[in-house]
Structure 1
Amino acid sequence: MSVISLRNATKRFPGTGGEPHTAVRDLTFTVDAGEFVAVVGPTGCGKSTTLSLVSGLEPASSGEVDVNGEPVRGIPDGVGYMFQSDAVLPWRSVLDNVAAGPRFRGLGKQQAREKAMVWVERVGLAAFAKYYPHQLSGGMRKRVALAQTLVNEPKIMLMDEPFSALDVQTRALMQDELLRLWAGTGAAVIFVTHDLEEAIALADRVVVMTSSPATVKAIFDVPLPRPRDVEEIRLTPEFVAAYREIWDTLREEVARARAEAMGRAS
C-alpha cells in the first residue's frame, strides 16, 4: 500500500469577481515508503499546493488524498515539512531549535536536547550547537532546518524548494547531505523544485506537472543507482538521457505558462 495517494485531487480557492481559482486539478499519483519523488512544473502551476493537500494544511475541494491509507482530514502523524524559508527561531540556539520538535511532542527538556544533539552532530554542526541563527551561513541554517525535520523521525518528508536560495556549491553539498541522511530512514519524500537537474539527481521518480491549473502530465522513472554523488551523477550518460527525455515534456509546459503570462500582461 502506498504511503501517499492522490486520486483526482482538485483544489479551488476563492478568486476575483466571484469566480473560483483552480490551483490544481485531478492530481493522481502515489508515493511508496522509502521512495523519493520530485515534482517539477512551470512557476506558479500549483506544486506547493500539492504539498499543502498531502500535509493537511489545505483540504481538497474534490477527489481523494490519503496518507497511510486514511483520508487526510488534518495534519497527519509522522509528517515533516521543510519550507523554502528557514523555520528557525532567532532567539534559540542551534541545539534548542532542533530540540523544539521533540519538546512539542512531549519529551522532557534534557531528553529532547540529547535527541537533538544526535542530529546536530549528524548534520555536521556539533561545534556550532550553541550558536544562534544570525551567526550561521545560509548553508548552515539549512542544516539546522534539515535536523529540525529529521529529529522527529518522520515517515513522510515534504520539501518545498528547500535549497533554492543557496549558491550553486552549497546547494550541491546540501543535496548530498539530504541523500545521506534520508538513506535508510524508510521515509517517503515529495520534493518540489524548479530545477530539473536537482529533481533527477535526487529522485527515484519525477512527476511533471502542466501549466496552471496543474495536473500530472507525465511520470518518469530515474534509472540512476544509489547511493549517489549528485555532482558525479550529473556527468553520466544516463543522467543526460533522463534530462533530455523529461525536459522534452516539461519544456512544452514552461513555454505555455510563459505565453499565458505574457498574454495576461498585455
Structure 2
Amino acid sequence: MTQSEATPPIELRGVTKRFRTPDGSTYTALRDIDLTVAPGEFCAVVGPTGCGKSTTLSLISGLEEASTGTVTIDGRPVGGIDRRVGFMFQQDAVFPWKSVLTNVAAGPLFRGAARREAIDRSRDWLRRVGLSGFEGHYPHQLSGGMRKRVALAQTLINEPRILLMDEPFSALDVQTRQIMSDELLDLWELTRPSVVFVTHDLEEAIALADKVVVLTVGPGRVKDVFPIDLPRPRRVQEIKFEPRFVALYERIWNSLRDEVQAAYTRTAGEAA
C-alpha cells in the first residue's frame, strides 16, 4: 500500500470549534469531532438544525480554523483554501452577469488555463450536465434545476479530489431533487472524488452515500456512523423501494430521532 493510499483524504481528530457571539460570550458549535473519509468515499452527514454540519464543511474547506484538534487533507493540516477542494453551497454561487458558458469556464481561467481550453472544457461539462444549447443564457433565464446543473459543472470542471456539498438541492422540488441526485451520482462516478454531503434529508443521505454520519444536537459530536451497503450504480427513486434501504432508514432514524427531538425541545424552550 502506498502512502497516498494509506493516508485518508479527509481526517478530523478531536476537533472543537468555538465562535465568539455578538454579546461577547462563546458558542461551541462542535466538540471533539472525529471523522475520516476514505479515497473516493461518499460520506453524508445528518443531524438536527444547529448541530454543526455546515461548520464541519467550513473547517475542511479552510474557510474556518478549528479551535482545538486537527483537520488534515492528505495528511497535511488545513491551512486555508485548497485547490484540491470543491465546495457547492446551498445557494448558487453563479455570477449573474456572466453567461452559462463563461460561468463554468471561470474556474479554469482563474487557475491559469488558456481561454480556448477553458471554453472547450466548459462546453464539455455543460454537455455532461445536459445544458448543451444553453451556453449563451444567463442565470436569471434558467430554472432552479438548471442553475444547479450550472453549479455542478462549475464545481466539477476543476476536477476536485475532495467535494464538499452543503444541502445543494434543498431549494428544489422533490422531483427535481431526485433528478439532480441521479445526475450527481453519474458525474461523481467519472472521477470519484471524496465527498462530504450535508443534508437534512435522511432518505437523500442513504440513497447517495457510502456511509452516513449522525451528529448529536449542538455542540455537535459524532454519535453514530452507518455503512451503506446498497449496490452501485444507483437510481435514487428506485433504490428507496429496496428492503435493505428501508431497514437502513429505520436503523439510522432510530439514532437520529432523539437528536431531532432534543433540538426541537431546546428551541421550544428558548422561544417560550
User: If the length of structure 1 is used for normalisation, what is the TM-score?
Assistant: 0.99
Count of aligned pairs between the two proteins: 266
Are 1:147 and 2:132 counterparts?
no
Aligned to 1:5: 11
Q: CA RMSD in A?
A: 0.8
Structure 1 gap ranges (5+): none
TM-score (norm 2): 0.96
Q: Distance in 1 between matches of 2:219 and 2:185?
A: 31
2:53 matches 1:21: no
Asked if the contact 1:24/1:215 (under 8 Å) is kept, the reply is: yes
Asked if residue 180 in structure 1 is aligned to residue 192 in structure 2, the reply is: no
Per-residue CA deviations over 1:48-78 (Å, capped at 9, x if unaligned) read: 0000000000000000100011001111231
Counterpart in 2 of 1:210? Answer: 216
> Could you list the per-position Cα deviations for residues 139-168 of structure 1 after superposition, in whole angstroms to 9, with x for gaps in the alignment?
000000000000000000000000000000
Partner residue, 2:201: 195
CA drift at 1:126: 0.7
Query: Counterpart of 1:242?
Result: 248
Shift of 1:223: 1.4
Distance in 2, Cα, partners of 1:135 & 1:184: 29
The equivalent position to 2:121 in structure 1, one of 115, 119, 130, is: 115
Q: Which amino acid aligns with 1:189?
A: V
Q: CA deviation at 1:88?
A: 0.7
Residue of structure 1 equivalent to 2:144: 138
Deviates more, 1:55-64 or 1:7-16: 7-16
Letter in 2 for 1:3: P
Q: By how many angstroms is 1:17 displaced? A: 4.0
Deviations 1:218-238 (A, max 9, x none): 000011000000000000000
Counting aligned pairs with the same residue, the percent is 62
Partners of 1:88 and 1:76 lie apart in 2 by 20
Q: Does 1:86 align with 2:81?
A: no
Whether the 8 Å contact between 1:67 and 1:76 is mirrored in structure 2 is no
Give the whole-Å Cα distance in 1 for the aligned partners of 2:159 and 2:135. Answer: 20
Deviation for aligned residue 1:15: 2.2
Tell me if 1:36 matches 2:49.
Answer: no
Residues of 1 paired with 2:168 and 2:23: CA distance? 34
Query: Cα offset for 1:16?
Result: 4.8
Partners of 1:184 and 1:130 in 2: CA distance = 26
1:91-149, CA deviations, whole angstroms, 9 ceiling, x for partnerless residues? Answer: 11111000000000001211111111110110000111111111110000000000000
Alpha-carbon distance in 1 for matches of 2:167, 2:182: 15
Gaps of 5+ in 2: 1-6
